[in-house]
Chains A and B, each alone.
Chain A
Amino acid sequence: MERCLAGDTEAFHGLVERYQERLYRVAYRYLRHREDAREVCQETFARAFARLSTYDPGRPFGTWLLAVAANLARDLLRRRARRGTVTAGERLGLVPGGERPEARAEDREEAERLRRAVDGLDPEKRLAVLLRYYEGMSIAEIAAVTGVAPGTLKVRLFRARRELLEKLGER
């Protein structure tokens, strides 16, 4: 990280290698669109590189990157909504991306039901749920990424759980 902050481009590529999978995973799950997720990742790294001087080394770099990506993804979603160009197939999860072959059929089915339920949440709840349950981030980390107060996040997650469990037929 010190080499990156000193302007070492090759060192930055090391960070790209380290964080690209997580970034793409979150972007794809949020947008449900491969090309958009790819674009968000590229733009995130490009902006992060251009703005390294604004990075506070006291914060985790991954959280900072996710914050940039979350802003870009939200903007993209808003623009997409304005244009009315949601791709139905990908939005409904009909393009699953890569899958681990060892995943059992029933596990996949249950996970698939949850995924569809998550896709039906509004964007703010969806992002909170993705970061919390899919990425396993703490409330403090999610607050840092989204810029939303922890108390608001907890209410948002509580309501999202209600919706998800209802859709899963468990409440």
Chain B
Amino acid sequence: MKNTIFKISFAALLALTTVSCNDFLDVNVDPNSPVKENLNLDAKLPAALVTSANYEATTLNQIGGFWGGYWGTSNEGVTAFASLKNYNGLAIRDSRDGIPVWESTYANLFYYKEILDQANAEGAGYYAGIAKIMMAYHYFILVDFYNNVPFDDALKGSSMLHPRYDSGKDVYEKSIELINVGIEDIKAGALSPTKDDVLFAGNKSKWVQFGNTLKLRALLRQSAVTEQDAYIKQELRKIEQEGSGFISQDAAINPGYVNSTGKMDPFFETYYRNNAGVAVANHTNIRPTKFLIETYSLHNDPRLKQSYVAVNDDFKGVIFGHNTIEDQYAAGVTSAFKGPQENAGKPAGFLKSFNQSTMLISAAESYFLQAEGAARGWISGSLNDYYTKGVQASFDYYFNQNGYDIGAYILQDAVDINKADNKVERIITQKWLALAGINNIVAWHDFRRTGYPKFPNSAQATGNDVYPLRFMYPESEINNNNENVLKQGDNNILSSRVWWNVR
């Protein structure tokens, strides 16, 4: 009797347990998101490129704006951007409230690494080449902020849990090699990207020129390191031998911006107006520095009135880091960024429209890089020619037309390159003026390298010569890879220099 009941019960239990048990448990395929295997390269490349452009336009422009001498704040913004104003390295490295250049850049690098791996597996050399060049672009950013960073050990997931750091110099050279190989990949590669290449729409020669320009920029950044002379020459020869030259048009990204929150040109949306045309807080808080306005004025530069709003027919700037409320620095009496709404609905200098393209490297910068190369005797060609083309490209960009008349401007004593005692200073100064509000971050790097132009430091700095030299390693890295952080020694924002900063 007992046995029978047990048997029946167990049989029933067993039946329930085994019947379609595996089907019952088979619910672990994510119904919400695709996995990597579902996606083609053309579904991944646009996201990686747009992320790169967003970062350049927003965070890097903000850091460069304040540390490159361009921007300060109005009374309304007196408490904003505190960590940049008082060079507070600890606040910047903070995981929660800091500026996560490290984290964002490595995340972006990983997008390209995924593309690279897939491209290699599928034999899509063109995509592989693009990924390599863009990875180099991001590694340069990392070194410029943090000096030694992981390269060989990087982007390997948990198989390389505590990535060792490579020296800043090595990362630079390895990245340049990435570009060299990337250019070859692109040239040889089939499967050309089309509209998913939101930078060059699959134009091979533009990609090659972009690679060369990026290389030239990286080589010039080490101009002060005398031991690198031979290396620089060798790499310049490779550019020459390659033969495609440098970009002559803006390398700018446009995925087809839409007038909707989060889908507009990120610079326009972050520093100007939202999709309803309402000004954002930054538009009240941020103002050009007195130094920027004075420098434009000194050169009788029409880009000033094209880019900033006049107050009583005059242009008024602020002092970066100034920490006192004074009537003269109220937002209403200082020059705001000029956009279409302040320009009779027409595109202004660097604020043109919600769907303006986001700049990675401008044609003007390319020419000024070449000009400096020529001035240093690194590359052939006419210094005057490169310099003039740089000014021309900048004016064309600011004034939204080709062939804007720069004749009078360029003949001024303060502008004419032939009348400059210090050619590099003049080139850098013109580059500084040309990149304002476009690629601000270049200014901080150039200042650390050359000391030009000599803009004032923060009013909150503890001494006249106190300028920020780098970012400290982020808290997330101290939390998760501290052993390697400690090996790098001092990383103080005011005392530790990146490798190319030997001035």
B is bound to A: no
**Residue ranges of B at the interface with A (Cβ–Cβ < 8 Å):** none
**Residue ranges of A at the interface with B (Cβ–Cβ < 8 Å):** none
